[in-house]
């Protein structure tokens, strides 16, 4: 039976894979902007530090390295599941946002200080890594985008996978914190193919995240257009590689 991934488990995995000092280790909502590419790069780098086959070169007991490598591999598998399952990612982000610690503990108001990652970035990441916005603003923007996107039930009705009564049934039966689509699957009101179709359409109709920054008067439209252009140039550079 697959492990149920909670925000706490996700945060532990982030700390193991990226290290306590990483921006990803601040809180579980960091999975909102995590990519499979970043996971793979970090896993390869950390594996070189703890792989049992390198016990001699590292001067450490093979048994200790084997335990560390198993923890690392487990963290990688957990986060790979989160990145591959958009509904799971949303649930973790939304739950983490509701149970967030105080601003001083989660990094609110703190701006990034390191080098810009040499990989493709989403717009919110690009703004954060270029010190245009702080950590909390980045997570708030991504959470807002999840919140305002079209609802799964609405899209399901538009595709005639669901009707009004079945949507109502799902809403009444859904436990606190469980996503609509997960409950609909359990009840047999949507099959997995239908859910993928609905989630794909939901993602397609996402509000541009730049709208969050203009509506909250964080950036102007001209500034957003400028950063979108710069973000595309950045991604094009690393996509070619």
CA distance 31 to 20: 15
Alpha-helix runs per DSSP H in 119-219:
123-129, 135-148, 152-158, 164-173, 180-187, 192-204, 210-215
pLDDT, tens only, 110-150: 788 888 888 888 899 899 989 999 888 988 888 888 778 78
* The pLDDT of residue 37: 81
Burial 135-170 (b: 16+ CB within 10 A, else e): bbbbbbbbbbbbeebbebbebbbeeebbeeebbebb
Judged on CB neighbours under 10 Å (0-12, 13-18, 19+), 221 is exposed
CA distance 43 to 71: 11
Q: Which two tokens stand for residue 95?
A: 């739950």
* The pLDDT of residue 105: 42
CB 181 within 8 A of CB 194: no
Q: Which two tokens stand for residue 202?
A: 């939901």
* The pLDDT of residue 99: 61
* The pLDDT of residue 101: 44
* The pLDDT of residue 93: 81
Residue numbers of the chain with a pLDDT score lower than 50: 1, 101-108
pTM of the model: 0.60
């Amino acid at each position: 039976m697959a492990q149920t991934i909670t925000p706490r488990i996700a945060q532990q995995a982030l700390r193991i894979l990226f290290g306590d000092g990483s921006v990803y280790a601040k809180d579980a909502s960091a999975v909102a902007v995590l990519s499979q590419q970043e996971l793979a790069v970090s896993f390869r780098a950390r594996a070189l530090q703890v792989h049992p086959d390198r016990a001699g070169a590292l001067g450490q007991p093979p048994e200790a390295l084997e335990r560390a490598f198993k923890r690392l591999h487990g963290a990688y598998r957990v986060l790979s599941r989160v990145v591959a399952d958009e509904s799971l990612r949303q649930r973790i982000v939304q739950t983490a946002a509701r149970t967030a610690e105080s601003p001083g503990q989660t990094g609110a108001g703190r701006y990034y200080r390191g080098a810009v990652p040499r990989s493709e970035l989403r717009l919110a990441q690009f703004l954060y890594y270029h010190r245009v916005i702080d950590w909390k603003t980045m997570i708030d923007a991504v959470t807002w985008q999840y919140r305002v996107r079209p609802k799964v039930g609405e899209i399901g009705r538009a595709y005639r996978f669901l009707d009004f009564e079945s949507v109502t049934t799902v809403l009444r039966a859904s436990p606190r914190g469980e996503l609509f689509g997960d409950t609909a699957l359990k009840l047999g009101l949507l099959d997995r193919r239908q859910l993928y179709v609905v989630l794909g359409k939901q993602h397609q109709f996402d509000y541009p995240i730049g709208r969050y920054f203009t509506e909250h008067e964080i950036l102007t439209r001209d500034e957003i257009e400028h950063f979108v252009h710069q973000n595309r140039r950045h991604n094009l550079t690393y996509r070619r590689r």
